Amino acid sequence: MSTPAPPGRRRSRVRTILRWTLLGLGLVVLALALGLFPQEPLRRFMERQIRSAVGPHSRIGRLHIVPARLQVEVYDLVVEGPAYRLEVPRARVAARKVSASNPTSPGRARSGGTGSSATTSR
């Protein structure tokens, strides 16, 4: 029969397992924050939402979300309703910090120090 491990050795093993677990969880959280996760399920979800709100022929070609920067990039966006068709080759929406020293900054009064900006390019 084997003898049980001394309490100090058992504690050391538990600490090692806990350290590796925390390290693994930290890496997963970091990867998610940097946008290193599957983007396709989010693109399909957004496409379903746009289709239900606007029309069945709307689509998103590619979607890239970076949660740490609060930034979204959309490529080949087509929004097609009953009386219009909008094609956007590339669009980026990002939240940004608005400085208190610049009172003419858009969004300062209504959002309490944060705002958003959107850019498109052809």
Phi, psi of 109 (to 5 degrees): -75, -40
Mean pLDDT, to the nearest integer, of 83-108?
A: 75
Domain ranges of the chain: 1-33, 40-121
pLDDT band at 116 (very low <50, low <70, confident <90, very high): low
pLDDT band at 49 (very low <50, low <70, confident <90, very high): very high
Q: What is the pLDDT of residue 56?
A: 93
Cα dihedral: 85, 89, 95, 101 (round 10):
-100
Identify the residue with better confidence: 93 or 32: 93
Q: Say which residues have a Cβ less than 8 Å from residue 86's Cβ, sequence separation at least 6.
A: 77, 78, 79, 80
Residue by residue, DSSP assigns 28-41 as: HHHHHHTT-S--HH
Q: What is the pLDDT of residue 61?
A: 94
Q: What is the pLDDT of residue 76?
A: 95
Tokens representing residue 27 in the block: 């890496």
Q: What is the pLDDT of residue 38?
A: 79
Q: What is the pLDDT of residue 118?
A: 61
pLDDT tens digit string along 23-37? 999 998 888 777 777
Tokens representing residue 70 in the block: 């609060």
pLDDT band at 46 (very low <50, low <70, confident <90, very high): very high
Mean pLDDT, to the nearest integer, of 109-120?
A: 53
> Is there a contact between 50 and 79 (Cβ–Cβ < 8 Å)?
yes
> Cα–Cα distances in Å, from 106 out to 56, 95, 118?
34, 12, 12
